Amino acid sequence: MNPQDQHGRGHPRAKNRRSRVLGLLAAAITLWAGLATPLDPAPQRAEAADGRKVLTVAVAQSVDSLSPFLATRLVSTSIHRLMYEYLTNYDPKDAHAIPGLATKWTPSADKLTWTYTIRSGTKWSDGKPVTAEDAAWTFNTMMTDEGAATANASYVANFRKVTAPSPTKLVIELKKPQATMAALDVSIVPKHIWQGVTDFSKFNNDKSFPIVGNGPFVLTGYKPDSYVRLEPNKDFWRGAPKFDELVFKYYKDGDAAVAALRKGEVSFVSGLTPAQSASLENQENIKVNDAPGRRFYALATNPGARSKDGKRFGDGHESLLDEKVRHALFMAVDRETIIDKVFQGHAVEGQGYIPPRFSTYFWKPSASQELAYDPAKAAQLLDEAGYKKNGDGRRVGKNGKPITYRVLCHATEPNDKAVGQYLKEWWGRLGIGVTLNCLDNVTDPWLAGTYDLAFDGWSVNPDPDFVLSIHTCDALPATPDDVGATDNFICDKKYDDLYRRQLAEYDPAERADIVKQMESRLYDTGYMNVMAYPNAVEAYRTDQIKSIQTMPEDAGNIYGQDGYWSWWSAVPAASGESSGGSGSTGVVIGVGAGVVVLAGAGVFLAMRRRSTAEDRE
């Protein structure tokens, strides 16, 4: 949900191209509710028997793919950031673009040719040199292979040609100007390892370990729906992490993850509910971090699933094709109640598509434009649209049958269930029924278009291009049998025109204005109702982690960052030491990251990149 929940990308990607930020796939091996029984031999304590420092992060989201060409979930894209360098990175203080694999980047006068100087002297974890040819091969593969373009096609769609004239020189030629050339959130992979892949749509990069990379960590072990284990890359150019091992451990149940944190079996948890957060506030050796998040929490309508070839599929309710109906539904949603009662103040009321944390692009509707909470007006709009009540007080469709909307929700997300109960009440007063379809796997009905509305969310990147791209017509699947990059099948020509304009606009102020026009258009069409911007509510053990970098540095998140700063910067506490709840610290070269199991009720993709998305994200 970056686009990398991008970072986050908060954007959707998926194993065998079947996943979406929206969806949390069910664990293949069932965990008994409330129990934190490990399914793996991964260490359970911060310090292993041999004295090694282990950082364990509890995660509520399972990995969709270890291939950066396929992965879209936030947990997966976050792990890829630890395994592979991107051309550029984001400064942890304020998220401006800084060198990564590339030390500098320069456009031609017409902005159609970009030359990147690739960092010399760095190596892949198998000892082979990292060169510009690795980057050129990565991009060219995405440009020519449909499977390799699954997760990040939007980044290379405008590329005309990519070459590597020398080991330290990468040249990208564009079809037209592209404002995201310092924000290409794409993992650069080793050509000598990946060139043997025959089918990128099916290769998940999860059979041979350790996996060759050039990031701060090397992935050394993986068990689906159980754990991901990484060790420090001793040759990482910024300096090796300080923890001896970093583990992401899967917990289907958020309470079980919190219990593991209390017992010291994990170092870190994220996605805390208000009750979980409150219960940890005064616990010895535990620090709660509650900061503005990079995600949005939304209700998305099925606008009529379709593919690029013009074919319709799925069975979304026909009434939702009417803009008046969509507006009526959203005017019957009390955002203030959601913030106060569901998030209990750990969120900000939703307005535009991009969270207020990204002030450059944050937009909110004018007073006359706002779809404010107004049940009476909502009822009037439904009447005007021809969906009137019958003798039983139920709204009826064109077929004469009472309207009941199916709302997709995540079985592991308590916020979805809580908001869903409010929807039953609010829409019930309008005469509309609601059936909550809470599933471990929301991916299949989502991709098939067999839903009416769905809880949605992305992690947004500092550059919002990815989360904007997933609502374009180009993101639709090629045919009903294919999987596109689309979030929920939106295809609007006015929105597309604005998208093309922002992508080609280099003036920051002009581009920001166009992005806000896109948000306004998305709001007016009523396809996306952003209800809240949730805080990042997370906690870690101070007797295991002495200090760790937040992003942004002032009141920022730890999990799902636009970069690898948190786990790379983490400093282990000395044996028996407690930091007394100390806060974040600036990035320190050579600081180590540890094993962390990320737990929490709801995780958004995000965006990236389809955080994404939160990131991509």
Interatomic CA distance for residues 180 and 90, integer angstroms:
13
Tokens 């503005």: give the residue.
292
| Angle at CA of residue 361, ends 514 and 467, nearest 5° | 85
Residue 525 CB neighbour total at 10 angstroms? 18
Using alpha carbons, select from 113, 125, 264, 273 the residue that is nearest to residue 178. 113
Residues 551/561, Cβ–Cβ less than 8 Å: yes
3-class DSSP assignment, residue 98: strand
DSSP summary character for residue 32:
P
On whether the pTM is more than 0.85, the answer is no
CATH 3.40.190.10 residue spans of the chain: 43-60+216-292+538-574, 66-202
Interatomic CA distance for residues 545 and 580, integer angstroms:
11
pLDDT for position 485: 86
Interatomic CA distance for residues 226 and 241, integer angstroms:
23
pLDDT for position 607: 32
Instruction: Write out pLDDT tens, residues 250-263.
Output: 998 899 999 999 99
Tokens for 342?
A: 């569901």
Using alpha carbons, select from 293, 131, 238 the residue that is nearest to residue 564. 238
CATH H-level, domain 295-534: superfamily: Dipeptide-binding Protein; Domain 3 (3.10.105.10)
DSSP summary character for residue 369:
T
Sign, CA dihedral 18-24-25-28, equals: positive
Instruction: Write out pLDDT tens, residues 128-157.
Output: 999 999 999 999 999 999 999 988 999 999
* Per-residue CA distances from 581 to 90, 271, 315, 373, 536 (Å): 27, 19, 51, 41, 17
Residues 533/356, Cβ–Cβ less than 8 Å: yes
Pairing of strands 217-223, 227-232: antiparallel
Using alpha carbons, select from 302, 313, 311 the residue that is nearest to residue 448. 313
DSSP summary character for residue 342:
I
pLDDT at 492 over 60: yes
- The per-residue pLDDT of the chain, averaged, comes to 87
CATH H-level, domain 43-60+216-292+538-574: superfamily: Periplasmic binding protein-like II (3.40.190.10)
DSSP summary character for residue 474:
G
Averaged pLDDT for residues 198-202? 96
Residue type, position 96, single letter: H
Q: Where are the alpha helices (DSSP H) in 246-357?
A: 254-263, 274-280, 323-331, 335-337
pLDDT for position 575: 62
Using alpha carbons, select from 533, 479, 545, 516 the residue that is nearest to residue 285. 545
Residue type, position 580, single letter: G
Interatomic CA distance for residues 256 and 239, integer angstroms:
34
Rg of the chain over Cα atoms, rounded to whole angstroms, equals 23
- The top-level CATH class assigned to 66-202 is alpha beta
Instruction: Write out pLDDT tens, residues 543-587.
Output: 999 999 999 998 999 999 999 999 999 999 986 564 443 344 333
What is the strand order of the sheet 404-410 is part of?
347-349, 528-534, 295-301, 453-459, 404-410, 433-439
Instruction: Write out pLDDT tens, residues 349-403.
Output: 999 999 999 999 999 999 999 999 999 999 999 999 999 999 999 999 999 999 9
Residues 65/71, Cβ–Cβ less than 8 Å: yes
CATH 3.10.105.10 residue spans of the chain: 295-534
Interatomic CA distance for residues 168 and 133, integer angstroms:
9
| Close Cβ partners of 491 (under 8 Å, ≥ 6 residues apart) | 303, 306, 472, 473, 476
| Close Cβ partners of 209 (under 8 Å, ≥ 6 residues apart) | 219, 220, 221, 222
Tokens for 312?
A: 């319709």
Asked if the peptide bond before residue 612 counts as cis, ω within 30 degrees of 0, the response is yes
